[in-house]
Structure formats: structure tokens, C-alpha cells
Structure 1
Amino acid sequence: MEEERKAREQSEAKAKARATDTPTSPSTEGHEEYVCERRQLEETTKRALEENDKLKHEHSAFAAKLKAKSDCIEALKYQLEAKLGDKEKQLAALATKVSRSDDLIDMFELNFKQVQQEVEELSAAFRMERDTGIVSLRSAPIALTRSLSD
């Protein structure tokens, strides 16, 4: 649109120049048109080259920014992978601890049941002896102590 406007302005300027100038010979009139068109082409080419240089500069700046962001994303990716690896190791260590804790709880429950059974057996034996009247107070604590230490 800008080129059309400039071309229109130049043709109007030519028309005014022709109207105010002295008549020119037919041979110089064609040459003037050629020179005018040549100037227009040179100006258009110059503007196009300037615009091209500007776009190249903008493209280079954008490419540099994009490369910097890409490098930043890549660095963050490696950091996250490293953190994930650390977290996986911590999780594995916790799973091992939980497994060991579960084993200890199972052993405690088993030992508790055994002790509870022995206490019940001793209580039953003690009740039986008491009911029969043959209670030996000295032997009961010793037997209980022996069963607990086993």
C-alpha cells in the first residue's frame, strides 16, 4: 500500500513537473521515466534490504533467547532427574526400614503371645496348686522368672 501511494505521488509530481516545465522532447521524456522508475526501484530495494536486515537481527535475537531458554530447560530437567533419583533412593531406604519394623513387630507379637501363654499356664498351675492346698510360694516366682528369661 505504501509503495502504491509513493508511486501515485511520484506520478502526480511528474504530471505537475510536465505542466510547469517547458515542453521536453520525446527522446528525453522516455529517459526521464526510466530514471524515475530506476530511482523507485532503488528506493524499494533499499527499503527491502533494510527490512531484511532488521528481520535478520530480530531472528538472531529470538534464536539466542530460544537457545538460552532451551539450555535452561535442559538444566532443570537434569536437576529434576537427579532429585527424583535421590527421592527414589530415600523411598527404597524407608521401605527397607518399614519392612524391618514390620518384622520386628511380628517378632514382638509372637514373643508376647508366647509369654502370655506361659503366664496363663503358670496361672492355671498356680490355681490348681492353690485349690489343692499345696501352694509353694517360693517356687512360683522362680518358675515365672525362668519362663520369662527363656
Structure 2
Amino acid sequence: MNDVDARMDRLRRAARYRYQQLVDSEIERGSLDPDEVREERRLLKAADVAAHARAQIEEAERRGVFEGNPYHGKRLPGNDGRHDPDWWIKAKIEREEITGIAPPALALRKEDAELDEHLDALSSEPDVRDVLDDFNARVKEARR
């Protein structure tokens, strides 16, 4: 940060402080509603955060940080309007075909969907019983 920016930053902080002192004194006098002031402050903070984020993105674009990014200026894949905070890990698991990391209950559901085909491939009743006993024991353990 250069000297001019640092000085402007100090001036802004001082002006905000004086403004807050003025608002607080008006609340004490009863001329301002504290709930309205609280809501306005919340909105101003949100606007400050959004402006800061936009400035950071614009600066990164000027430096070329996003060059070569296949999603630059596009919607993220799999985003159909619903918020899913785990979209990226789900996409990585699918893209790299990672297995064996699901919670036991989820893994058992997937195994259950394929169980009929596996049982049909077995040729003897004791083999089928062994597979089913093992599967049922794991289901009971997962439900605990």
C-alpha cells in the first residue's frame, strides 16, 4: 500500500469513527431508532464485504490469475440453482471414480442395489447364504 492509500485509509477510519459516535449520541437522545440503526449497520457491512470481494476479483483478473481457467465467466458445472456446498467434492469423486470413502450406510445402499445380480451369479445355496449373512451383519452394524 502506498502512502496516499494509507493516508486515505486512515481518513476513512477516522470518518467512520466520528459518524459512529454521532449516531450513538443520537440514539441516546432518542432521535434514532436503535433497531433501524442496527439493520442499517448490518446492510452496510454486507455491502462492504461485497465491494471488497468485487475489488479482489477485479485485481486478480488484471493480474491474469484466471487465465486458462475453463470456468472463467461461466456457471459452475452441476449448479442447477440449488445451493450444494459439497458440489466440488462430489464432482471430484465422480470424475476420479473414487470408491471406498462413503459412509457405511451409503456404501451399503449402493451394494444393495447390485446385490441381486451378484446373488444370481452364485451357483450354490450355501454361497448365497454366506453373502446374505455377511451383508445383513454389516447392515446391522451400520444401523448401530
TM over 0.5: no
For normalisation by structure 2, the TM-score amounts to: 0.30
Structure of greater relative contact order (alpha carbons < 8 Å, 6+ residues apart): 1
Bigger-Rg structure (1/2): 1
